[in-house]
Each structure stands twice: as structure tokens, then as C-alpha cells.
Amino acid sequence: MLESSTPPLAALDGYRNVTDLLVARAAAAPGHVAFEVEDPSTGSWRPITTRGFEDEVRALAKGFMAQGIQAGDPIAIMAPTRYEWAVADLAAWFAGAVVVPIYETSSPSQVNAIVADAGVRLAIGGTAEHTALLQEALADSNAVTLGAWTMDAETTGTLADLVAGGVGVTDEDVEARRTTATQDDPATIVYTSGTTGEPKGVVLTHRNFLGQVLNIAAAYSEIVNEDGNTVIFLPLAHVLARGLQLICLASGM
């Protein structure tokens, strides 16, 4: 068998887990625009700085912790690609959780299979319909669950409600939880599409993400830098889109 390899372009030293990518970027360039989110009522774009994004992430992490999420607990996210997906993803990691993405087009049987197999404790849906599917799956699972919440602001049980419930959690509590995971702890469980049977889970560690993010950024610095912009239209349930999002976030793109 022939084997070839290339040396890494970036070292992972100094990073405990994926959350350090955001913390380091927010410290280096807090006022830099990390996201632009469209206001559907006006059609204009609202800039969100790196520090503003980090503040939202920490606030939602407090909400997760207040609900009872412990280090290593799985949190499912089922939604189309949108800004709130990014907030929920990083917030779950700040709370020490493991993220379980579910495609927004998944059937009820696939949602039930993933939630049960991963032992999901809390779920986030993009719409009321997604949230209802997740709630049903949680009810049918054998795990002790903490409910399903929605990104849709026009209903109840929203991310804003989670944030409001976390006001009693301190910054020190979040920081202690954020730094719990090491590079070799699970960061996410990504499930196959299910076209060849039941969806199959693949565990990716914080080291997997850090190695991808730091080395791709080093290899393509002429593209990946703080003067660049990108539009992500791939589903964030797919690990390629999540890796790309982390690369952009860590590099100020």
C-alpha cells in the first residue's frame, strides 16, 4: 500500500478546544464585523461584530446550563442555514455540550433514530415544525430530556426564552464549563443521510476541527483573511459548511 503525507502548516498548541478560536478572535479584533444578517422587514443588512457574536454565544450557553445541560450532553440542532445556527452551535460548545446536527429535510423516522441513538438531551429547531418533530422524538427517547426550543421569534419556547432563563448563571460558570473539553473530547456527532439504511453517527473531536480550521487557514491565507467575505449556502448540518464557518470566524472573514 502506498502512503503519502504532508507536514501540518499550523500547530494546535495553545488551543484547548474549538471555543478558543472564537475567544482568540474576539480578543484580537472585537470590533471587526463577523456576520451580516438581513433584516427581513427592511431588506437591509445588520452588522454583528466578533465581540457581539461572542456575547450572544455566552448568553445562550448560560441558558443551556440553566436548563440543566452538563458537560458532554448532546444538543441537537435541526434548522436551515441561518445566523442562529451559528450562535447555537458555538453556545453548545461553550456550555460543554456535544452538537448533533440534523438535516432540516430529515423525515420523522430519521429524527427519531438520531435523537435516540445520540441520547440527545435538548434540541433546537429552526421553525415550529422542526421543533415539534424534535419534541416528539425527545418524548419517545429513553433519555432524560430538557425540551425542544425554536429559533422562530414569533412563538414561545424560543432562544430568547433560553437566554432569559440563564441570567443567574455567572460568567465564571460559563468559563469553567467552556474550558472543560480537551482536544480529544467529542465536539459533534455527524449522521449520514440515511440513504443506505439508518443514519450512522460519526464522532468528530475538537482536535479534528482545530486541525482543519488552522491548517486550511494557513494554506489559503490569500483567500481566508479578515478582508474577505463569504456566503454560506450549504446546510450547516453538513460538516463541510460548519468547518468553513469556523475557518471564516477564526480568520475574521
Total count of domains within the chain = 1
| pLDDT attached to residue 153 | 81
Condensed to tens digits (0 to 9), the pLDDT of residues 188-230 reads 999 987 667 777 899 999 999 999 999 999 999 888 889 989 9
| pLDDT attached to residue 51 | 98
Residues 6+ apart with CB under 8 A from 160: 153
Domain annotation covers residue 246 = yes
Mean pLDDT within 94-103: 97
Domain annotation covers residue 52 = yes
Mean pLDDT within 221-243: 91
Condensed to tens digits (0 to 9), the pLDDT of residues 129-144 reads 999 999 999 999 988 8
C-alpha cell at 142: 429513553
37 burial (CB, 10 Å; 0-12 / 13-18 / 19+) is middle
Domain annotation covers residue 4 = no
Domain annotation covers residue 7 = no
Mean pLDDT within 132-160: 92
Give the domain range for residue 145.
19-251
**Reported pTM:** 0.94
C-alpha cell at 125: 429547531
In eight-state DSSP terms, residue 9 is: S
- The CATH number assigned to the domain holding 82 equals 3.40.50.12780
| pLDDT attached to residue 134 | 97
Residue 41 has pLDDT above 90, yes or no: no
In eight-state DSSP terms, residue 158 is: B
Q: How many whole angstroms separate alpha carbon 176 and alpha carbon 58?
A: 12
| pLDDT attached to residue 194 | 65
| pLDDT attached to residue 154 | 77
Q: How many whole angstroms separate alpha carbon 57 and alpha carbon 246?
A: 14
Residue 121 has pLDDT above 90, yes or no: yes
Domain annotation covers residue 6 = no
Closest C-alpha to 20, from 217, 230, 213, 221: 213
Sign of the C-alpha dihedral, residues 198, 204, 208, 210?
positive
Q: How many whole angstroms separate alpha carbon 135 and alpha carbon 45?
A: 33
Q: How many whole angstroms separate alpha carbon 98 and alpha carbon 103?
A: 16
